């Protein structure tokens, strides 16, 4: 196990290095500079600023400097926020994203698992049909549609929650609900499909023949063995939720990392774009490792090599 984890960590570092390299050169291919919209600066003043940040150096020189700084944990300074360190900006922004992402993941997973189990247990019933319809709509309709509906009905019409901005727990409710619908729907669909397959397995038939209680069969023998496809889907999805969903954060004016990423692209703030991409990449490859480890825990027949 230790050897396997060490090997995967090596691949993780190599993957992040490759992503950082590709992203860096893609950033340099973007048209314009961070000072493109700086109409108040003369050409001479813009040249001074570009020289200060070494943006006039050859691209290979900039690449070596950036990767050297990255190796020491230095993500650079923002061009948009008065020379502030990128790590400071990210640390302020990542909290709201993680909060609403975690809440949405937990809520969506719990309700989705429950809906999927109910659909499988009561197969071909009205409950099964209703759950299936919900799963189809939840996966088909974009999240920003649900966000607008939640804002209108729960925020404007009923006045239960704030429609936007950030401050108290009440401000997190609507974005959490908007984000939770997709993981809820996809979890319900995968759980239903896998549970139906497991319930038709030979060992479940044997358990029934032995006279085991139905709840024991479902929760001890069926539920755990149905989780592998669900975890496979939820792993990468969890990363996206907790590292900022750009559209939802913009709609609800959440000061998260996703909202900052969108603003950074519009202003060509290369260091923040790079930092956000790297955070998402590290979180993603780490989650893939965690999923692989969970496989062997859920099903001992799966061995890690």
234-266 residue pLDDT tens:
877 887 777 657 788 888 888 888 778 877 877
List, as one string, the DSSP characters of 206-268: HHHHTT--HHHIIIIIITGGGHHHHHHHHHHHHHHHHT--HHHHHHTT--SHHHHHHHHHHTT
pLDDT in tens, 9-21: 888 889 889 988 9
Choose the weakest-confidence range: 58-72, 76-90, 168-182, 275-289.
Answer: 76-90
Q: Which helix (H) or strand (E) holds 207?
A: helix 202-209
The torsion region of residue 164 among left (phi > 0), alpha (psi -120 to 50) and beta comes to: beta
State the pLDDT at residue 107: 92
Tally of helices (H runs) and strands (E runs) in the chain: 13, 0
Checking if the pLDDT of 56 tops 70, the result is: yes
Tell me the average pLDDT across 34-39.
Answer: 58
pLDDT in tens, 68-108: 888 888 888 887 776 788 888 888 888 888 888 889 989 98
pTM: 0.80
Q: For the chain, list the domains and their CATH numbers.
A: 86-298 (1.10.3720.10)
Contacts for 35-43: CB closer than 8 Å, 24+ residues apart: 35/79, 36/268, 37/267
CA distance 204 to 220: 11
């Amino acid at each position: 196990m230790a050897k396997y984890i060490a090997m995967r960590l090596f691949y993780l570092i190599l993957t992040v290095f490759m992503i950082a390299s590709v992203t860096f050169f893609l950033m340099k291919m973007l048209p314009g500079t961070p000072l493109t919209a700086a109409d108040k600066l003369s050409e001479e003043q813009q040249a001074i600023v570009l020289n200060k940040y070494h943006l006039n150096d050859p691209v290979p020189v900039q690449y070596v400097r950036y990767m050297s700084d990255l190796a020491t944990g230095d993500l650079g300074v923002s061009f948009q926020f008065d020379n502030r360190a990128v790590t400071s900006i990210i640390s302020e922004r990542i909290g709201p994203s993680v909060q609403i992402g975690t809440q949405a993941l937990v809520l969506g997973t719990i309700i989705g698992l429950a809906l999927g189990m109910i659909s499988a247990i009561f197969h071909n019933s009205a409950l099964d049909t209703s759950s299936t319809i919900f799963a189809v709509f939840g996966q088909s309709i974009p999240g920003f549609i649900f966000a607008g509906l939640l804002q209108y009905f729960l925020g404007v019409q009923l006045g239960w929650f704030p429609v936007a901005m950030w401050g108290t727990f009440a401000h997190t409710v609507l974005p959490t609900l908007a984000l939770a619908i997709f993981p809820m729907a996809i979890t319900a669909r995968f759980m239903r499909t896998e549970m139906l397959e497991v319930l038709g397995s030979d060992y479940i038939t044997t358990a029934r023949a032995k006279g085991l209680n139905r709840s024991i069969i479902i929760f001890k023998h069926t539920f755990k063995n149905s989780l592998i496809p669900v975890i496979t889907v939820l792993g990468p999805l969890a990363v996206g939720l907790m590292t900022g969903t750009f559209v939802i954060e913009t709609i609800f004016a959440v000061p998260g990392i996703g909202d900052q990423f969108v603003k950074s692209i519009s202003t060509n703030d290369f260091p923040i774009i790079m930092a956000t991409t790297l955070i998402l990449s590290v979180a993603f490859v780490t989650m893939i490792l965690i999923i692989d480890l969970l496989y062997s825990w859920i099903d001992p027949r799966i061995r890690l090599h």
